[in-house]
Copies of this chain bind each other. A is one copy, B any other.
Amino acid sequence: MHRSRLAGFIIDCERPNLDAAARFWSEALGLPQLGRDGPTYEKLDASARDLHVEVQAVEHRSRVHLDIETDDQEAEVARLEALGARRIGLVQSWWVMEAPTGQRFCVVRSDSWEGKAGINTWP
């Protein structure tokens, strides 16, 4: 048995001024800026929506990618592979995967599940 759910999304911006990019998305979505999370990330406060949202500076084309959080990354990645997704690579602590429909997404580890909605439990 393991758990997973949609954690939120990362707004990937190609070679941005990260301060300006985070300011735009903060104001566009009405989500306050929470400051830098390392050199390439800026967190937005989406706690009122029970979501994890960050703006990221990237080298590839701008996009939005989804994050799935789980208490067992290996089991969750295997579950997603069985559905047709494939592993792209392990980056820091998360698995980058590609959906059969082409979108990249990440599988991140979470140890905090208290009070979270929409948790799925998989056999």
Contact = CB atoms under 8 A, between A and B. Distances in A.
Nearest to A97: B28
A79 to B, nearest CB: 8
The residue in A9, A21, A28, A50 that gathers the most chain B C-beta atoms within 10 A of its C-beta is A28
30 contacts: A4-B30, A6-B29, A6-B30, A6-B31, A6-B49, A9-B66, A13-B101, A13-B103, A16-B101, A20-B100, A24-B84, A24-B85, A24-B99, A24-B100, A24-B101, A25-B101, A28-B80, A28-B99, A28-B105, A29-B66, A30-B120, A46-B118, A48-B117, A61-B102, A62-B101, A63-B63, A63-B64, A63-B103, A64-B65, A64-B103
> What interface size band does chain A fall in?
35 or more
A108 interface: no
Interface of A: 4-6, 9, 11, 13-14, 16, 20-21, 24-25, 27-31, 46, 48-51, 61-66, 68, 80, 83-85, 99-103, 105, 117-118, 120
